[in-house]
Amino acid sequence: MIRNITLGQYLPGTSAIHRADPRTKIIMTISFMVVLFIVNSIWALIAALVFVAAVFLISGISFKYAIRGMKPVLYIIIFTTVLNMFFTDGNVLLRLGPARITEEGLILAAVVSLRVFLLIASASIMTYTTTPITLTDGIEKLMGPLKVIKFPVHEMAMMMTIALRFIPTLIDETDKIMKAQAARGADIGTGNLLQRARSFIPVLIPLFVSSFRRADDLAVAMESRCYRGSEGRTSMRILKFKGLDVAILGIFIIICAGILLIHYLI
Amino acid sequence: MAVSNRAGRDLMIEIKKAEYIYDNHDFPVKAVDDVSLEINTGEFIAVLGRNGSGKSTLARLMNALIIPDSGKVIVLGKDSSEAENVWEIRKNVGMIFQNPDNQIVGTTVIEDVAFGPENLGVEPVEIKKRALKALDMIGIEELRERAPHLLSGGQKQKVAIAGVLAMKPSCIILDESTSMLDPVGRREVLETIRKLNKIENMTIIHITHHMDEACLADRVVVVDEGKIMIQGSPREVFSDVMLIESLGLDVPQVTRLLFNLKKEGLVDDSAVIDIDEAVGKLRALIG
Amino acid sequence: MKGTPFEKKALDNVSMELKKGEFAALIGHTGSGKSTLVQHLNGLLKQDEGQLNVAGLETKGRDLKELRKKVGIVFQYPEHQLFEETVYKDIEFGLLKQNIPDEERRKRILDTAAIMEISESMLHKSPYEISGGQKRRAAIAGILVLEPEILVLDEPAAGLDPSGTRELFDIVTSLYREKKITVILVSHSMELVGDYASRIIVMNKGRIEHDGTPSEVFSMGNKLEEIGLGVPQITKLMARLNEYYPEIARDVYTIEDAQRIIGGILRRGR
């Protein structure tokens, strides 16, 4: 039931994308998203689409996974598409009673939906090809410079790791608690909005309490294994920029330049 | 029953008249009350006691998770009340806890086993070596990339043991680590620590309330209300059936049986702790 | 009560009948399907095939509320479901959905508290203020207060020490005798099963392997070991002695019975 949530799941593989340093992928994904917001030209976005399709191909990830990522936002896309199609001024193509579809509207709708699709697809390709722990390592390394202003980089990374580790466990526990409460006649998730909110209390309170207890136990266990923060701490996993990363970044810069060029020229 | 006093270096842990008081709720509780105990290197000790007897508190005194309010706890010659000794003690005396889930930090098995060495500042290449060696020693090398939530209770505890082993300790304390496991898991964990004790000469302190587990130990220490009530070999301890049961604990069924027969005047001596011994004794009597 | 063929990996062609007032034990290795079977009894899970009729109600019918009044399931570590401000309120929780006059509801809660040896003062405390053993009794009270005809206990003694276990089972036994409820005990402890159950259902890989009295089931020591289960220590002892003294029965599973038999032999030998 609840277990069917896939959190940008990792799909194992040995492609160049899989092997790239997580920092490379994070930097690329963020930069790419920025580029997507800059460009308004439909041709530039189509070029971007070709690029993303190529990345999927190289990484061996089936395109259907890209489509799957769209499901949550399907309604938003349809809504904005319709909005843009019908309410943009310009060269009228079709008239349906009082409503009208314009050429500009059609293009705008295409631009907006394509942009949303590409944003999601690029984030997905990053999570599909990088394990959560590797991603966390990458984020921790990238945030490294922030240590200068005393930002708790290590602590944040540790928190993310622990959260990732416990999400499946907490999901299982929620299931258990819901079953136990249902067994004594609780109606969880039914009724009007207020009733439904209240009906979750018998599940949330035990969950919170047990989570605090977990945190307490875990802290003691960590201290038993000599954890004392980042002081003197090393890591089994070392991130190193390889030739592969330089090559990938190089190609990426060229492609982005190309996309931006198309945007400014066409 | 006196434990022979060995030379200082053979002593793993020395507890001298230790006391620990919990200041909670309405009244303070002496969880550990004037306890003195010596644990020798390579021993397999079982600490037996009912819930609330103080056995867990005693365990936590031994790896400096808590410091005695009076008295001393000396681990490998180091006083646990001195702050600079704490990390050295925890490195040497590893602890496995009751809840298999709430001690695993890593998102995969090998990552979790690496956690200890990482905290100790070990070189990255060496960390991986130690982690793989520990997993191999426990026999779970093939689980190394597995996510913890997909493991059974017994497997999780084995991961925890590997995680402690990777820190190269001299002693491992198991604080009710089998309580939440099914029989298969319990057997796996017990087999693992028995092997570590016999083959690696690892000092094992097993805290439990299950007498069948205590029977595997060299020495059993029974605690109640913060005090040591009786200690000795499993056979010596369990033959005092009345005392054991008055402390809220159980004896093995065969021990109980022979004790009852002894009360009826049909057998002289009821000191048995397993089926083989019971069969032997009864056959001798029946003829 | 009747359960007939299921057909999924978790449960495979399970058929059985349980009479009112029986104290049955359901044993099996982890993953044998016992939890899955139990969750069908109050409709938490619905079978893909076959029928399940519990206390006169079809579990696939719509009225789960009715069903859950008749079948009370106490899951492992039930104290984890406590959430109300006071023990009293938490026990009351299950009753609130039913149309019971205030007076009667109060009486039921107090009666159940008495059975579970929960004192008046404990009723007013927060569930987070009481000890582990007390929490467990409070959680069980929360199910008992619904006055189920069938009580399912999943490893009720998990995590309890020997005296705690004994106290709990004393309560369960007196409950069983006085209220004549049908009890299903799911447990890994053969000693407990041998001491309390009058019928044992053995599950293995989603199927029912054996179904019979303790004498019948425990005398099949080898078969049980093959599927990852054991027998009470005393049964193993008697089986070993039987190799030398054929007159010693193999189907003994309590200390009292063993004592009687061996005592008799020793006396005759004098």
Cβ-Cβ contacts under 8 Å, B99 against chain A: 214, 217
**Neighbouring-strand partners of residue A100:** A95
Q: Chain C residue with minimal CA distance to B208? A: C161
The CB density around residue A111, as the number of other CB atoms within 10 Å, is 18
Determine the pLDDT at residue B25: 66
Q: Which stretches of chain C drop beneath a pLDDT of 50?
A: 1-8
Question: Rounded to an integer, what distance in angstroms lies between the CA atom of residue C55 and that of residue C20?
Answer: 8
- Among B50, B254, B264, the residue with its CB nearest the CB of C163 is B50
Closest-CA distance of chain B to residue C161, Å: 6
Domain C2-219 has CATH 3.40.50.300: yes
Question: Rounded to an integer, what distance in angstroms lies between the CA atom of residue B216 and that of residue B43?
Answer: 11
Q: What is the pLDDT of residues C20-44, one digit of tens each?
A: 788 999 999 888 888 888 888 888 8
A226–B97 CB contact, under 8 Å: no
* CATH for B152: 3.40.50.300
Tell whether A210 and A114 lie within a shared domain. no
A185–C68 CB contact, under 8 Å: yes
Determine the pLDDT at residue C4: 46
Q: What is the pLDDT of residues C46-97, one digit of tens each?
A: 777 666 777 767 777 667 777 788 889 999 999 999 999 999 999 999 898 7
Determine the pLDDT at residue A3: 40
Residue B139, in any domain of the structure: yes
Tell whether A47 and A169 lie within a shared domain. no
Residue B217, in any domain of the structure: yes
Determine the pLDDT at residue A88: 76
Question: Rounded to an integer, what distance in angstroms lies between the CA atom of residue A259 and that of residue B161?
Answer: 54
Cβ-Cβ contacts under 8 Å, B244 against chain C: none
C250 touches chain A (CB under 8 A): no
The CB density around residue B36, as the number of other CB atoms within 10 Å, is 12
Cβ-Cβ contacts under 8 Å, C263 against chain B: 261, 264, 266
Question: Rounded to an integer, what distance in angstroms lies between the CA atom of residue B177 and that of residue C32?
Answer: 24
Q: List the pLDDT tens digit at each of the 287 positions of chain B.
A: 333 444 445 889 999 999 999 887 678 889 999 999 999 999 999 999 998 899 999 999 999 999 999 999 999 999 999 999 999 999 999 999 999 999 999 999 999 999 999 999 999 999 999 999 999 999 999 999 999 999 999 999 999 999 999 999 999 999 999 999 998 999 999 999 999 999 999 999 999 998 889 999 999 999 999 999 999 999 999 989 999 999 999 999 999 999 999 999 888 877 888 899 999 999 888 87
A180–C83 CB contact, under 8 Å: no
Residue B254, in any domain of the structure: no
Determine the pLDDT at residue B2: 32
Q: Which of residues 148-167 of B touch C (CB under 8 A)?
A: 152
A161–B106 CB contact, under 8 Å: yes
B275–C255 CB contact, under 8 Å: no
Question: Rounded to an integer, what distance in angstroms lies between the CA atom of residue C233 and that of residue C244?
Answer: 18
Q: Are the C-beta atoms of residues C49 and C36 closer than 8 Å to each other?
A: no
Nearest to C79 by CA among C127, C120, C46, C24: C127
Tell whether A95 and A210 lie within a shared domain. no
Determine the pLDDT at residue A33: 94
CA A253 to chain centre: 22
C259 touches chain B (CB under 8 A): yes
For chain A, what is the domain count?
2
A242 touches chain C (CB under 8 A): no
Determine the pLDDT at residue C7: 42
Question: Rounded to an integer, what distance in angstroms lies between the CA atom of residue A206 and that of residue A223?
Answer: 26
Q: Chain A residue with minimal CA distance to C85? A: A205
Look up the domain containing A185 and give its range. 145-224
Number of A to C CB contacts under 8 A, please give it. 52
Cβ-Cβ contacts under 8 Å, C259 against chain B: 257, 260-261, 264
* Residue ranges of domains in chain C: 2-219, 232-270
Interface test mutation site (partner B, options A172, A211, A236, A239, max chain B beta carbons within 10 A):
A236
Determine the pLDDT at residue B73: 96
Could you give the 3-state DSSP secondary structure of residue A237? Answer: coil
Q: Are the C-beta atoms of residues A110 and A40 closer than 8 Å to each other?
A: no
Cβ-Cβ contacts under 8 Å, C80 against chain A: 176-177, 180, 206, 210
Structure tokens, C223: 């078969």
SS (H, E, C) chain B: CCCCCCCHHHEEEEEEEEEEEEEECCEEEEEEEEEEEEEECCCEEEEECCCCCCHHHHHHHHCCCCCCCEEEEEECCEECCCHHHHHHHHHHEEEECCCCHHHCCCCCHHHHHHHHHHHCCCCHHHHHHHHHHHHHHHCCHHHCCCCHHHCCHHHHHHHHHHHHHCCCCCEEEEECCCCCCCHHHHHHHHHHHHHHHHHHCCEEEEEECCHHHHCCCCEEEEEECCEEEEEECHHHHHCCHHHHHHCCCCCCHHHHHHHHHHHCCCCCCCCCCCHHHHHHHHHHHHC
Tell whether A22 and A152 lie within a shared domain. no
Determine the pLDDT at residue A143: 92
The CB density around residue A75, as the number of other CB atoms within 10 Å, is 9
For chain B, what is the domain count?
1
SS (H, E, C) chain C: CEECCCECCCCECCCEECCCCCEEEEEECCCCCHHHHHHHHCCCCCCCCCCEEECCEECCCCCHHHHHHHEEEECCCHHHHCCCCCHHHHHHHHHCCCCCCHHHHHHHHHHHHHHCCCCHHHHCCCCCCCCHHHHHHHHHHHHHCCCCCEEEEECCCCCCCHHHHHHHHHHHHHHHHHHCCEEEEECCCHHHHHHHCCEEEEEECCEEEEEECHHHHHCCHHHHHHCCCCCCHHHHHHHHHHHHCCCCCCCCCCHHHHHHHHHHHHHHHC
Look up the domain containing B226 and give its range. 8-231
Q: Which stretches of chain A drop beneath a pLDDT of 50?
A: 1-7
Q: What is the pLDDT of residues A140-179, one digit of tens each?
A: 999 999 989 989 999 999 999 999 899 999 999 999 999 9
CA B151 to chain centre: 23
- Among B182, B250, B266, the residue with its CB nearest the CB of C30 is B182
Tell whether A125 and A244 lie within a shared domain. yes
**Neighbouring-strand partners of residue C211:** C201
B97 touches chain A (CB under 8 A): yes
Determine the pLDDT at residue A109: 87
Tell whether A42 and A83 lie within a shared domain. yes
- Among B103, B120, B164, the residue with its CB nearest the CB of A217 is B103
Tell whether A169 and A97 lie within a shared domain. no
Residue B91 CB contacts under 8 Å (≥ 6 apart), including other chains: A226, B120, B167, B168, B169
Interface test mutation site (partner A, options C39, C40, C81, max chain A beta carbons within 10 A):
C81
Tell whether A27 and A114 lie within a shared domain. yes
Q: Chain A residue with minimal CA distance to B163? A: A225
Tell whether A66 and A192 lie within a shared domain. no
Interface test mutation site (partner A, options C63, C83, C146, C184, max chain A beta carbons within 10 A):
C83
Residue B238, in any domain of the structure: no
Question: Rounded to an integer, what distance in angstroms lies between the CA atom of residue C253 and that of residue B47?
Answer: 29
Determine the pLDDT at residue A68: 79
Residue A181, in any domain of the structure: yes
